Structure formats: structure tokens, C-alpha cells
Structure 1
Amino acid sequence: MASAPAPTVEPDGAEEPQPLVKGTVKRLLGWIIPANFSIFVIWGAVPAVLLQLQITGIDPANKVANITIVATIGAFASMIAQPLAGMLSDRTRSRFGRRAGWMVGGVLIGGLALVGMALANTIVQIAIAWTIVQIAYNFAQGPLSAILPDRVPRAARGTFAALAGMGAMLGALGGQVIGSALSSTIPAAYMLLAGLALVVTVLFVVFNPDHSSKEQVNPPFSLGAFLRTFWVNPVANPDFFWAFTGRLLLYTGYFAVAGFQLLILADYIGLGEKGATSAIPVFGLLSLVGMIGAMVISGPLSDKVGRRKIFVFGSSVLVGIGLIVPLVMPTYEGWMIFTLVSGIGFGMFQSVDQALMSEVLPSKDSFAKDLGVINIAATLPQTLAPAVGGAIVLAFGGYAALFPVAIVLSILGAFAVWPIKAVK
């Protein structure tokens, strides 16, 4: 069997990936949107809407505490799952490549767990099923995120990151719309989401095959080395550390508010549960307008000017500014302004952040594992948002306390990317 062509090494030492097995980079660019959408729509619909409504329906008097507990358990499972999935896929030897089996297996098991949530009628059952959902879909998402450094040339990574971010945000915000629309039929919503992720992921793998990894030689496994990946070393890998920190701070700030949107609208803005559920699709679509516009412009522009940090910095500042509005204007109109401004900022961030991350990874031999660690900074805040928000609300006795915390975190996230040296 002929050996694969050697990767191209650029002047700065970074390696270009092997040529694609099938199709073109443009085809891969197109497929990443539905692939990311099919997974992130679950993160948008379930923790932000369906899970909160399901738990509220079982025990309305203790909804904040119960949501906080369930979200916390699931989030910590998610934190462990992505790096583990990345490590396993990095070391997988298969004729279908390193990632495909984990992606398909993850969405299959995750779909079964969503069916379990549809049948659950106690808080304990929901907590167990949601934890399995978190683990399984992170086993799909971790290897999927490695597609960028695995297969995309560096010159196209800003565009790819913009499209990947667009799929993710379309999913996250579209999930809120779908969750709200199907709030009266929560079991059917879970089954629809499970089926969508399974079908789209299988099609992605079929139409975008990877190089065989059967001949891959893996270094000896070290449990200690794997456990150390959860510690992002600021001395050994300062750029990786600052990129991780910036993403973690911004995501936590944004999703501490956005992920708790249903109860904020119901209780803080004063719309009530029914009014809040009806309003979420309106705000979701408004946010999408801002995000898509920012992504379409920022990603390609970042490739053109060869800079990433200024876009990440500006996006974090915009999100922080947007968060000020509902604090001083707790009205329907104030939430509309927040949604649009933060949507523009978050869209700008999504369009270039993944490209920046791909250029600060510590090792070319462990893309998925390292991206799994990086992705903790994205998925953990999204899934932990109800827990973070709930803890703040319980501690300070009101929703207004969420906004100052989120503003500070977002601004700190902006400054965290400035020390990165490997990326302009």
C-alpha cells in the first residue's frame, strides 16, 4: 500500500494536513455547518429550555436548586468526556480513520439517552440520562472539532472556523427556538433532536471520509500524561493557556446569562413562564441576525489581514457592553438590545476563535485531545450555565447579580488573548 504524502511544513514550522481523501476543501466547509448544527442544537434546546421546563414541571417550588444540581453533575461529566474522547480518537487505528467511529457512536448512544430523558419522570432519572447525554455527545463533538487541524489548510482556517462557528451558533440559538416551539411536547422534542444528530453525523462521515489510521504507530499510553492534560500549563504552553483562559472567561460570562434566559425572562423581565417561552424564538432569531452578519464578515476578513487577536478582543468587549443593557434596562426592549449587541460580539468571536485555537495547540500528534481540553472552555460554560446562574441567584437573592459577574468575566476574556505571541 502506498504511503500517505508527507505533510507540508510551512516556514514557521507549522504543518499542513494531508490532501483530502475525497472531495474538496469547499465540500468540507459546507458540511461542517450541518454537522456542528446537529450537535449544538441539543446544547441550545435541552439545557436552556427543555430541561428547565421538565424539571420545573416536576417540582416548581425547588426549580432553581434542582436545575443547578442536575446541570452541575452533567457539566462535570462533560468536562472529563471531551479530552478522554480526544485522547482515544487520537490513538484509534481504523480503516475509517481516527475520528469517524467515535462520532457515530457518540450520537447513537447520546440519542438513546435523550429517549431516556423523554421517558423520565423523576429528578434522579433526568440527572442520570442528562449525564449520559453530556458524555456521549461530547464523544462525538471532540473528534469533530479535530477536523480543522486534521484536514483544513491553514490559509482556509479562518473561513472554516467562521462556518463551524456559524453552525454551532445556529444550533445553539436555533435549539432555543426549537425547544420553545416544542415546549408542550418535550418527549417528541428529545426524539427529534436525537434523530437529527444521528442522521447528519452519519452523512458527514460517509461524504467526508478520513485517511486510514490502521498503520498508525502510537506512543505508549501514560495515565499521568493524560491526567496532566487537564492542567493547562501556563509556563510550558503559555499561548495555549491564554487561549483556553480567554475562551473560558467569555463563554462563562455570556452563557451565565444567555443559558439562564428562560427564567430571567419569566422572573426578572416579568414575562411569566408562558410569555418567556413565547419570547425566546423572537430573541433567538434577533441574535442570529447579529451573529451571522458578524461571522460572514469577520472570518474571511481575519484570513485576509492575517490577524486573529484583535477580532477576539473586540468581540469580548462587545459582549460585555451588551450585558450592561438589561442590568440598567430590565425590560423587553432592553433584552432585545442585549440580544442583538451580544449576538454581534459572539458571532465575531466564533468566526475567528477556532482558527486561533488551532494555531496554539501544543502538539500535532494530539489534536483531538488538546482540542478536547480547549473545548472544555466552550462546552462547560454552556452546560454549566444553569448551575452558575442558579448559584448566583440563590446566593444573592435575585437575577440582577448575574449581569455584573458576566460583564467582568467577558472583559477579562478580552484581555486574556492579548499575551498570545504565536498569533497576531
Structure 2
Amino acid sequence: MSLNDEEREAVVADDIAPDTGLPMPTGHKIRFAAGMIVFNILWMTAGTAASQVLLPSRFTTLDIGQPETVLATMNSVSIIFALVANVVFGALSDSTRSRFGKRTPWIPLGGVVAGIAYYMTSVATSLVGIVAWWSVLQIGVNIMIAPCVAILSDRVPARIRGTLSAFYGVGQILGQSLGALIGAQFVTNERVGFVIGTVIWLLTGFITIVIIPREKSSLGEGGERFSLRKVVMQFRPPTRNARDFYLALVGRMCLIFGYNMIMAYQLYVCMNHIGLDNEGAAGVVAEMATITMVVSLVTSLASGPISDRLGRRKPPIAVASVVIAAGFAVPWLVPTSTSMLVMAGVVGLGYGIYMAVDQALNVDVLPDPDEAGKDLGILNLANTLGQVVAPIITSSLVIATGSYAAIFPVAIAAVLVGAVVIMFIRNTR
């Protein structure tokens, strides 16, 4: 069957890099893929090691409050800074004019800010100090993430966004797993673990901009230059053609919320739901991380190209959500160390599928590509909100019931609701 003129033009447009107006060379595709993986491996490794293992372990010895409450307080306050930083620096990168491009200058700066804040969090001994420095770290993280995610819209042809999104997701999956592994290895020697994390943060941005193809100068770009008024106006959420945008936001937030209710508390789940001691729980967490990493890596690398070939984003996310929910049900119904390992494999399968398609879906629903940095920043708030609200709800349920059993059905419901919301999106298949 031959293509008509409109279909042929659409195919050609899908192959064109938005920033150059030309097809993307294979070498650039490889460098973008490598850059996406490395960026996410680095920052997720450092962040996960602290947030899921090292800091929760440290909170059990600081005598500054119930560990779950300390963790929830740290996250609930830092969300304010993360929310603002993501939108502000997305808007700033949209407006930046420099010979290095509009996204590039912000990425290494964010890594340096995060590295300093990470180290200061690790040496803080009061609740106020921990919360304050973790909030600064959230600013640094979002200085990097907001412009990095916008690259998918700015510079990547539509035809390979699913594949590049898969590599982005693979980096996060590997980083989460490596972070849990590293954190578990240093749970009895936290200082070394925190120093390693600090070095990783400091290097993340610089390594990333070396790997990805150089961004063209933005000095000659038209449009209004950055101003305080423009930043204030950028806080306005999109209102035109934005139905799918908000469905993607809500669906993503539900899934990330449900996922983190269990995975962000896996050390405490192993200790209090399964009944292991601190070192035993750390060992199981390390095994889970290995299983999740291997399964998710294979699944994600396969799912992105398949999504591009089929031209579909919603069905993979629905399948992923059902698989994740099924994985959570295993240790809920059978609380043993073995069931936690089974959960790691099943959830890794579903999360790998989800992460392969998630960023491509987000780019597909953007109301205005010219405000990609700001709007993707808003969509990334779903990640931040889900990650921060999850510990708050989890700690509240644990305190109210005295058990971790109640968090599993809530997490399962949240993940499935997220899938239903995503299926109502109209403008992408």
C-alpha cells in the first residue's frame, strides 16, 4: 500500500531532529542514548543510596524522632523546593541564550549544587539541618533534570522518542538498583557511602554534557529574553489543548506514588513486615536491587523500540501497571524474604515497561513545544509529588495501624488508577 502525500510528509517529519531540521546521524542517536543512560544512572545511584538505605538507616541512630516520621518530614518539606525549582529552571532553560545552548549550562550547575547539599545532609545531626540541606539538594536535582528532559522535545526526532525514552528509563532503573546495592554495602559504614555519593553528584552534569552531542548556540534565537515577569508568567499552567497533558500528569503521579509507597520503604518493609534485623534487611534489599536491575534493564530496552514500531504508548503503560500491582500483592499475601525477591522480579518487569514509554508519552502530550522545558517540568512534578506524598501516606498508615500490611492494598490501588487515567488520553495511541 503506497503512502499519500500527507502520510509521506508525516513520516519525513517524524525523522527530523527539531533543532537542526535534518535527519539525526546514527552516531548522535548513540550518544544521546548513552547520555540519557549515564545521566540517570549517576544521579539516581547517589540519590537512591541515600534516600532508600543510608539516610533511613542513619535515622535509626540519631535519636531525633521516629525514623519513618523523620523521612516523611524531610521529603514533605523538600517537595516545596522541588516543585518550584522544576518549573523555574525549566522556564529558565527555555529562555536561556548562550553560546553553549539553552539547556547545557544548567546541567553541570545542578550537579554541583546537589553534590554540596548531599554532603551537608549526610553530616547534619538535627532535623532542621537534614530537612534544609535535602531541600537544597532537590533544587540542584531539578536544575539538572528540567533541561535534560526537555532535550527529548528539543532535539530528538519523534520516530525514536520511545527508544530514547527507554534509555532514559533504563538509566533510572539501573541507578535505583545500583543505589540500593551501594547503600546496602555501606549500611554499616555510612560515611564512605555518603562520600561516594557526593563525588557522583559533583561529576554527573559534567559527564552528561560531554557524552551527548553538543547543543547549538542559542544566542541567535528569536523570542523574548528571560525576565522576571516571564518567569512569573511561566508558572501559568497550560490551558489550551491541555486535556491529555493533565491526564498524563495525574496518571503518572498515581503510578509513582503507588510504586514508592513500597519501594522507597523496602528496608523498613523487610525489617517490620518480614521480620528481619537491620543487616538481614540490607542483604535482602541488595538482592532485590540486583533482580530488579537485570529484569528492568532487559524489559525496558525491548519495550521502547517496540513502542516506536507499533506507534503506541498507552497499552504498554496499562500492562506495566497491572504487572506492578501483581508484584506488590506477593509479599502482602505471603510476607517472607523469598516473596520480596519475587516482588522485585515482577515489579522490575512492569517498571521496565513503564519507564521505557513514560517520557515519550509525556512529550507526545505537550500542548506547546516552544514551552517544553516548563511543561515537562510540570509533568515531572508528578514524579516529585508521588515520591514525596508516598512516604507521608506510608508513615501515616504505619503509625495508625502499627503494621506495614496496610500500605500494600493502597499502593496496588494507586497504580491501577494511574493506568485507567492514562487510557483516557486521546491524542496518542
Alpha-carbon distance in 2 for matches of 1:131, 1:27: 32
Alignment-mate amino acid for residue 162 of structure 1: A
The equivalent of 2:90 in structure 1 is: 86
Alpha-carbon distance in 1 for matches of 2:88, 2:25: 26
Alpha-carbon distance in 2 for matches of 1:200, 1:254: 25
Alpha-carbon distance in 1 for matches of 2:386, 2:61: 24
Contact preservation (8 Å) 2:91, 2:231: no
Contact preservation (8 Å) 2:107, 2:147: yes
Alignment-mate amino acid for residue 169 of structure 1: I
User: Does 318-327 or 58-67 show the bigger shift?
Assistant: 58-67
The equivalent of 2:18 in structure 1 is: 17
The equivalent of 1:393 in structure 2 is: 398
Alpha-carbon distance in 2 for matches of 1:91, 1:52: 39
The equivalent of 1:181 in structure 2 is: 185
What residue ranges of structure 1 are gaps of 5+ in the alignment?
1-7
CA deviations 1:18-56 (Å, max 9, x no partner) are 237995222211221111111111331121111211222
Q: Does 1:129 align with 2:129?
A: no
Alpha-carbon distance in 1 for matches of 2:49, 2:331: 23
Match of 2:172 among 150, 168, 173: 168
The equivalent of 1:37 in structure 2 is: 41
Q: Does 1:112 align with 2:120?
A: no
The equivalent of 1:332 in structure 2 is: 337
The equivalent of 1:201 in structure 2 is: 205
Alpha-carbon distance in 1 for matches of 2:306, 2:341: 27
The equivalent of 2:351 in structure 1 is: 346
CA deviations 1:266-300 (Å, max 9, x no partner) are 11110122211121110111111221121122111
Contact preservation (8 Å) 2:252, 2:382: yes
Identity of aligned residues (%): 31
The equivalent of 1:406 in structure 2 is: 411
Alpha-carbon distance in 1 for matches of 2:389, 2:25: 38
| Displacement over 6 Å in runs of 4+ | 11-15
The equivalent of 1:266 in structure 2 is: 271
The equivalent of 2:156 in structure 1 is: 152
User: Does 14-23 or 360-369 show the bigger shift?
Assistant: 14-23
Alignment-mate amino acid for residue 18 of structure 1: D
Alpha-carbon distance in 2 for matches of 1:144, 1:354: 12
Alpha-carbon distance in 1 for matches of 2:209, 2:346: 36
TM-score using structure 2 length: 0.91
Contact preservation (8 Å) 1:22, 1:209: no
Cα 1:248–1:46 shift into 2, 3 Å: same
TM-score using structure 1 length: 0.92
Alignment-mate amino acid for residue 337 of structure 1: V
The equivalent of 1:287 in structure 2 is: 292
Q: Does 1:244 align with 2:223?
A: no
Alpha-carbon distance in 2 for matches of 1:128, 1:360: 35
Alignment-mate amino acid for residue 102 of structure 1: W
Alpha-carbon distance in 2 for matches of 1:114, 1:281: 22
Alpha-carbon distance in 2 for matches of 1:249, 1:341: 19
Contact preservation (8 Å) 2:152, 2:161: yes
The equivalent of 1:3 in structure 2 is: none
The equivalent of 2:5 in structure 1 is: none
Contact preservation (8 Å) 1:85, 1:139: yes
The equivalent of 2:367 in structure 1 is: 362
CA displacement at 1:381 relative to structure 2: 2.2
Alignment-mate amino acid for residue 293 of structure 1: V
Alpha-carbon distance in 2 for matches of 1:159, 1:180: 31
Alignment-mate amino acid for residue 127 of structure 1: V
The count of corresponding residues between Structure 1 and Structure 2 is 414
Aligned residues: CA RMSD? 2.3
Q: Does 1:317 align with 2:322?
A: yes
Alpha-carbon distance in 1 for matches of 2:9, 2:62: 57
